[in-house]
Amino acid sequence: MATTEPTHRGRARIAEPGEGIGLDELALATRNHGMPLEALRYDVTPPGLHYVLTHYDIPAVDPGDWSLEVGGAVARPLRLDLDALRRRPAVTARVLLECAGNGRARLEPRPVSQPWLLEAVGSAEWTGTPLAPLLREAGVSPGAVDVAFTGADHGVEGGREQDYSRGLPLAEALRPDVLLAWGMNGAPLPPQHGAPLRLLVPGWYGMAHVKWLTRIEVLDRPFTGFQNAVAYRIKVDAHEAGVPVTRIAPRALLAPPGWPDFLTRERFLRPGPVALTGRAWSGRAPVTGVEVSTDGGATWTPAHLAPADPAHPWTWRAWTCAWDARPGRHELVVRAADAEGAQPVQQRWNRQGMANNLVQRVPVTVRQ
């Protein structure tokens, strides 16, 4: 088993060429879990198939003891228990979440952290109350710029003991579709998804959707906590400040056709017509198209993309593409585009493996 040095002060370690996954990365991979890609078949991802990333432990929160504090740069600090929140206007929204580290383990060289391949995604029906009216009731101070959201999850990261905490620009926090959610797919939030209450910031990568929420603090200065200033940044050189990770870049995924080998996960299928299917999304602009290659990216065919559903602007869209599978080995590749551009076919490396949307490649063998 390869030994690994701990990260210090948020400087991620980069794996050596050819270095296998270490026990530390494996400990993350076995406790966090992705969405097996055949679950792309579900419009709404069942709990247990939806991806989960918890930085520390899942905290034991007693909903009867729990309350949410709203304070900082506000005229009227508030404290609300779960009943008080549930008496507020409730909405249910279908929102896709994706981890900012999705695809990290495919980067070369590999940033050492949660080693996602491509499965850190899911789309669920979240029920909660909009945040903006609550902030207005608290009376946000005129000079406020950021809002800090803190969870009950506690641990050490980059050498600093901390409760998980993320800052969000005030303008984003005031968007009407930002929710404080207590329900998932018609049931109470499961423990691993943030029970009793989590934040939902549609369009942003998962790190913004703070789970096990206990405190909302309005700030009259920019938030400088670890998760914004150090952890979730896109940078190539260890010493640069980098740019913050925000909205989800476009991605299409293919539900791998055929059947797998248990261990190697190689895929096999029979010759003949195959309906390739999958999903595509972007958190920054509407998806404008999906293309499929069955020859490793040499040629591309437009997929049929289901129309956007105005009732669900923040979820994925189904796509399908007919393929006449001939015997032999093929590499299937898919890419989505939004108004800002298409997924890259070559990696755009960054040292923390953040917001990487390199195309998916699925080798398959077609045999009689």
- In whole angstroms, the minimum distance from the beta carbon of 135 to its own copies comes to 29
CB-nearer residue toward its own copies: 59 or 203 = 59
With b meaning 16 or more CB within 10 Å and e meaning fewer, what string describes 15-49? beeeeebbebbeebbeebbbbebebbeeebbebeb
Binding letters toward its own copies, positions 228-267, x by CB under 8 A: ----------------------------x--xxxxxxxx-
Radius of gyration of the chain (CA): 21
Half-sphere exposure of 329 (CA within 13 A, CB side): 5
How many chain residues interact with its own copies (CB under 8 A)? 67
The one segment of 1-9, 135-143, 198-206, 240-248 that binds its own copies by CB under 8 A: 1-9
Joined together, the tokens standing for residue 192 give 């691993």
Contact call for residue 26 and its own copies (CB under 8 A): yes
- In whole angstroms, the minimum distance from the beta carbon of 122 to its own copies comes to 11
- In whole angstroms, the minimum distance from the beta carbon of 240 to its own copies comes to 21
CB-nearer residue toward its own copies: 40 or 337 = 40
- In whole angstroms, the minimum distance from the beta carbon of 326 to its own copies comes to 20
Residues 6+ apart with CB under 8 A from 256: 37, 38, 267, 362, 364
Q: Ramachandran region of residue 189, left (φ > 0), alpha (ψ -120 to 50) or beta?
A: beta
Helix (H) or strand (E) holding 321: strand 317-325
What's the rounded Cα separation, in Å, for the pair 15 and 113?
10
CB-nearer residue toward its own copies: 79 or 367 = 367
Cβ atoms of 51 and 33 within 8 Å: the answer is: yes
Q: Using the rule CB under 8 A, which residue among 98, 119, 217, 291 binds its own copies?
A: 119
Cβ atoms of 291 and 298 within 8 Å: the answer is: no
- In whole angstroms, the minimum distance from the beta carbon of 137 to its own copies comes to 33
Which of 174, 180, 197, 217 is CA-nearest to residue 67?
A: 197
Binding letters toward its own copies, positions 186-225, x by CB under 8 A: ----xxxx--------------------------------
CA torsion angle 18 364 361 252 (round to 10): -150
Contact call for residue 272 and its own copies (CB under 8 A): no
Scan residues 122-181 and list those touching its own copies (CB under 8 A): 154-157, 161
| Residues composing the chain | 368
- In whole angstroms, the minimum distance from the beta carbon of 190 to its own copies comes to 5
Scan residues 42-61 and list those touching its own copies (CB under 8 A): 42, 46-50, 52, 54-58, 60
The residues that touch its own copies, with contacts defined as CB under 8 A, are 1-2, 4, 6-7, 18-34, 36-39, 41-42, 46-50, 52, 54-58, 60, 105, 110, 112-113, 115-117, 119, 154-157, 161, 190-193, 256, 259-266, 268
